[in-house]
Amino acid sequence: MTVLPYLVAGWIFLIGVYGLVTSRNLIHAVGCLAVTQSSTYVLLLAVGYRNGGTAPVFSDAPTDSRVVDPVVQALALTDIVVGATVTALLLALVLQLRKRHGTVDPDALSELKG
């Protein structure tokens, strides 16, 4: 239990990169990138967790309760939304590629180049 969350984060990262490397479809590759991104959230929140802690939101908890680390949560929170818009940008690029070169296979694209 002491390292399991970290190892899971590492596994998600590796499997996501594996998908990126072996992908034959850019849309699939963008999905794999989204998976890879989620490994960072898991790692960040795992680092910030404290046994017996509760969320650092004091509307329904006493202000002296033991809380988990809010800083990493703030980092992960903004990154998730910004990451989604970046995913959208990548998908827009895929659509452009498709329009210009008629394919979404990265290998076929590099063949086109020469």
Partner 1 sequence: MSTSDGWLAAALVPLLALGPVLWRIAHGPAKDRLVGQNLVSLLAGLALLLAAQGFGRPSYTDVALVVSVLGPTGTLIYARFLDVLPDSRLVKWTALIGVPATVLPLCVATGPGRAMAKLLLVGALLIAGSVVTSARGGDGGTTA
Partner 2 sequence: MSFRFRLWVFLVGAAGFAVLFAVACFGLPAFGSGHHPYGVRAVRASLNHHTANVIASVNFDLRAFDTLGEETILFAAVLGAVVLLRQTQDERRKTPEPAVVHPRVRRFALLTLPLALLVGLYVIAHGQISPGGGFQGGVVTATALHLLYVASDYRALERVRPLTVYEIGEAAGEAAYVVTGFAAVLAGSAFLANVLPFGTLATLSSGGTVPLLNAAIGLEVASGVVVLLARFLDQAVEIEEPGEDEESGDPREIEKPRESQGPGKPRESEEPRGCGRPKESEGPEASGASRDDDNRDDKRE
Partner 3 sequence: MTDVLIVVALLLVAGAATAAVLNRDPVRQALVLSFLGLALALLFTFLQAPDVALSQLAVGSAVTPLMILLTVRKVRRRSGNDHGADEPAGRER
Task: Name the site residues for partner 1 (rule: CB under 8 A).
Answer: 54-55, 57, 59-61
Check residue 68 and report its DSSP letter: -
CA 77 to chain CA mean position, Å: 11
Name the residues that contact partner 2, by CB under 8 A.
1-7, 10, 13-14, 17-18, 21-22, 46-51, 55-60, 63, 67-74, 77-82, 84-86, 88-89, 91-93, 95-96, 99, 102-103, 107-108, 110-112
Check residue 54 and report its DSSP letter: B
Tell me how far, at minimum, the Cβ of 11 lies from partner 3, in Å.
6
Question: CA 38, CA 15: separation in Å to the nearest integer?
Answer: 11
The partner in contact with residue 104, picked from partner 3, partner 1, partner 2, none with C-beta cut-offs of 5 to 8 angstroms by kind, is: partner 3
Residue with tokens 């989604």: 84
